[in-house]
Amino acid sequence: MKTFTFQVASAAVLAVCASAPLQAQPVAAGSPVRGGTLAVPIHVGEPSTYDCHATNSPAVMWRIAPHYSTLLKIDPDQFPRVVGDLAKSWTVSPDQLEYRFTLNSNVKFHDGSVMTSADVKASFDRMRNPPPGVVSLRQGMLSGIQSIETPDDHTIVFRFGHASTTSLQLLAMPYACIYSAKLMASDPSYPFKRVMGTGPFRFVRHTPGADWVGERFEGYFGAGKPYLDGFRMLSISPVAATNTLLAGQVAYTMSGLTPPEVKRVLEARGDDVVLRGGNNATTFLPWFAINNQRDGLKDERVRRALNLALDRWGASKAMEQITPMFKVGGLVRPGSTFARSDAELAKLPGFGHDIEAARKEARRLLAAAGKTDLKLTVVNNRAFSYFGVYVADQLSKIGVTVDHQALATPQVAARRVSGDYDLIFDSPAEYSDDPSIQLSYFEPFSTNRANLARFGDVKFVEMFNAQQRDFNPASRLKRVRELESYLLEKSYVMPLFWQSRKRVMDSRLRGLEGDYPSNYVKIDLADLWIAPAAGK
């Protein structure tokens, strides 16, 4: 059996690894073989829920995804093309209002029960119209669905209230895990506390603070998949994650590496590893949502002042040395169809190159709003504490005092729900470049609990709907640019830096060869396999 195992790295082991010479080289793909247990570290905290529908967090999704299937998914090799998962084929009506899907007929849940269209319908109904006590962060994104019908066990029909450029991509969201309708009927809280889907791996255990383990589901509907016997995701710190990779105890890290970390691992492990990715920005943009329900932050002059205080261009190079999130960009992914050039971006609030002029304007805005002694509580995920430190430093330049609270993931999740924060670390649903996905975060808080800025803006809704229904690429681009400018003027969030994910991987690992634009592709692990060692 081919296995990547985990042990605590000793100083002696790391010293030996650090002395090894080398240059990483690519390895030919070959044909998939079965066997092996994949070990990877996760250092973004413990999951606050087991429910895909209730989260935006990679701490949840990276662990949960191997256990569930979705109706559709994004093709990582032809991003952002949509391909089937549970759906084996589909048709679209001429008016683009009806989407009829034929499901695979051999799908079973891990408890042995047969999955049907009723399970798909129940899962999407739960997301778009959650029952009392159920949290759905997808409600706003799926509000365009008018009805869902199930003519038979293997057919499901979605009818939309209006034609949209993004309907298929919405149905392909990685968060749309398909749950058992029968189990939900008997226990509405089942998705929150129990992991049981139709994915390639059956859930084995979750030991908080230690690991998350899955094993191959032999009844998986994907022919011949998964290739791995199982996987083990290790709950460790960022430093420990890099050290386990350095020592050859894990196959790769889920997050990207900084240039110093890349150099260190490549020099230590030689031909045993390969470097992949990092040439493009990914769809992950962390930001601090600004709570519009707080008295001091209801005034857009105050929010804009906070954005103007950040020297994004000046901090980018320094950030690259400590985090894979360092690329400057607006609210759409740099390098994507909808992105602006750096020169165009520099004209928007918070992205100018003259930081002294920007901060002078920020101080003027605070004075005009009567907030020259502003004090803010900033709630942050402990794994990203450096962003809180950065923001506190930058805001101090305009006279704002920050109480930076770096908390564990479950504590941050509780504060998200309670609204007890001025600013809180967050990011949008980031699996696609399309603005109807990326900017859906800003749909009104009344029907969209993902909106941690906690506001509703009628003009935004009008502009958002208009771009979503515009099938002309040139005019849609113009609408998207206007929408982005509007959101940055209003400063509902404080954008930080886009991710560029460089990953050093064990050279025997196959299935992750691309420079993928999203963190949320290939996370079900179904396509991954481990090549035999040389000479075997």
Give the whole-angstrom CA distance, residue 86 versus residue 258: 37
* Tally: H helices and E strands in the chain: 17, 21
pLDDT greater than 90 at residue 1: no
Are residues 440 and 319 part of one domain? Answer: yes
Instruction: Give pLDDT, residue 8.
Output: 31
Does a structural domain hold residue 6? no
Are residues 299 and 262 part of one domain? Answer: no
Tens of pLDDT, residues 481-507:
999 999 999 999 999 999 999 999 999
pLDDT greater than 90 at residue 355: yes
Q: Based on the structure, what is the number of domains in the chain?
A: 3
Give the whole-angstrom CA distance, residue 514 versus residue 533: 22
Are residues 486 and 389 part of one domain? Answer: yes
Are residues 439 and 309 part of one domain? Answer: yes
Are residues 214 and 188 part of one domain? Answer: no
pLDDT greater than 50 at residue 209: yes
Are residues 424 and 324 part of one domain? Answer: yes
For 367-446, list the strands marked E by DSSP: 375-381, 401-407, 423-426
Are residues 521 and 443 part of one domain? Answer: no
Give the whole-angstrom CA distance, residue 198 versus residue 225: 13
Does a structural domain hold residue 422? yes
Tens of pLDDT, residues 431-471:
999 999 999 999 999 988 889 999 999 999 999 999 999 99
Does a structural domain hold residue 413? yes
Query: What is the pTM assigned to this prediction?
Result: 0.86
Q: Output the six-digit token pair for 526.
A: 């179904």
- Which of the residue ranges 89-98, 233-242, 481-490, 521-530 would you say has the lowest mean pLDDT? 233-242
Does a structural domain hold residue 447? yes
Instruction: Give pLDDT, residue 6.
Output: 30
Instruction: Give pLDDT, residue 462.
Output: 97
Give the whole-angstrom CA distance, residue 65 versus residue 87: 17
Give the whole-angstrom CA distance, residue 318 versus residue 499: 14
Are residues 304 and 252 part of one domain? Answer: no
pLDDT greater than 80 at residue 134: yes
Instruction: Give pLDDT, residue 536.
Output: 55
Are residues 319 and 460 part of one domain? Answer: yes
pLDDT greater than 60 at residue 4: no
pLDDT greater than 90 at residue 398: yes
Are residues 371 and 429 part of one domain? Answer: yes
CA-to-CA dists, residue 190 to 60, 63, 126, 128, 185, angstroms: 16, 17, 12, 18, 9
Q: Name the percent of the chain lying above pLDDT 90.
A: 80
Instruction: Give pLDDT, residue 428.
Output: 83
> What CATH number is given to the structural domain containing 247?
3.40.190.10
Instruction: Give pLDDT, residue 29.
Output: 53
Q: What is the mean pLDDT of the chain?
A: 91
- Which of the residue ranges 10-14, 103-107, 323-327 would you say has the lowest mean pLDDT? 10-14
Mean per-residue pLDDT, 229-256 = 92
Give the whole-angstrom CA distance, residue 535 versus residue 149: 55
Instruction: Give pLDDT, residue 7.
Output: 32
pLDDT greater than 80 at residue 286: yes
Q: Which domain holds residue 93?
A: 69-193
Instruction: Give pLDDT, residue 288.
Output: 98
Instruction: Give pLDDT, residue 254.
Output: 86
Tens of pLDDT, residues 287-322:
999 999 999 999 999 999 999 999 999 999 999 999
Contacts of 11-17 spanning 24+ positions with Cβ under 8 A: 13/247, 14/243, 14/246, 14/247, 17/246, 17/247, 17/248, 17/268, 17/269
Question: pLDDT tier at 535 (50, 70, 90 boundaries)?
Answer: low
Are residues 461 and 380 part of one domain? Answer: yes
3-class DSSP state of 128 = helix
pLDDT greater than 80 at residue 269: yes
Q: Given 150, 167, 193, which residue is the final one in a domain?
A: 193
Does a structural domain hold residue 535? no
Instruction: Give pLDDT, residue 177.
Output: 98
> What CATH number is given to the structural domain containing 95?
3.90.76.10
Instruction: Give pLDDT, residue 409.
Output: 83
Q: Given 144, 169, 193, which residue is the final one in a domain?
A: 193
Phi/psi for 388 (5° steps) reads -65, -40
**What is 394-412 written as a DSSP string?**
HHHTTT-EEEEEEE-HHHH
Does a structural domain hold residue 98? yes
Instruction: Give pLDDT, residue 179.
Output: 98
> What CATH number is given to the structural domain containing 475?
3.10.105.10
Question: pLDDT tier at 21 (50, 70, 90 boundaries)?
Answer: very low
Q: Given 169, 193, 217, which residue is the final one in a domain?
A: 193
CA-to-CA dists, residue 213 to 194, 384, 419, angstroms: 14, 25, 33
Are residues 505 and 495 part of one domain? Answer: no
Packing angle between helix 238-246 and helix 259-269, nearest 10 degrees? Answer: 30
Q: Between residues 275 and 9, which one has the greater pLDDT?
A: 275
Tens of pLDDT, residues 22-68:
223 333 457 899 999 999 999 878 888 999 999 988 889 999 999 99
Does a structural domain hold residue 2? no
Does a structural domain hold residue 536? no
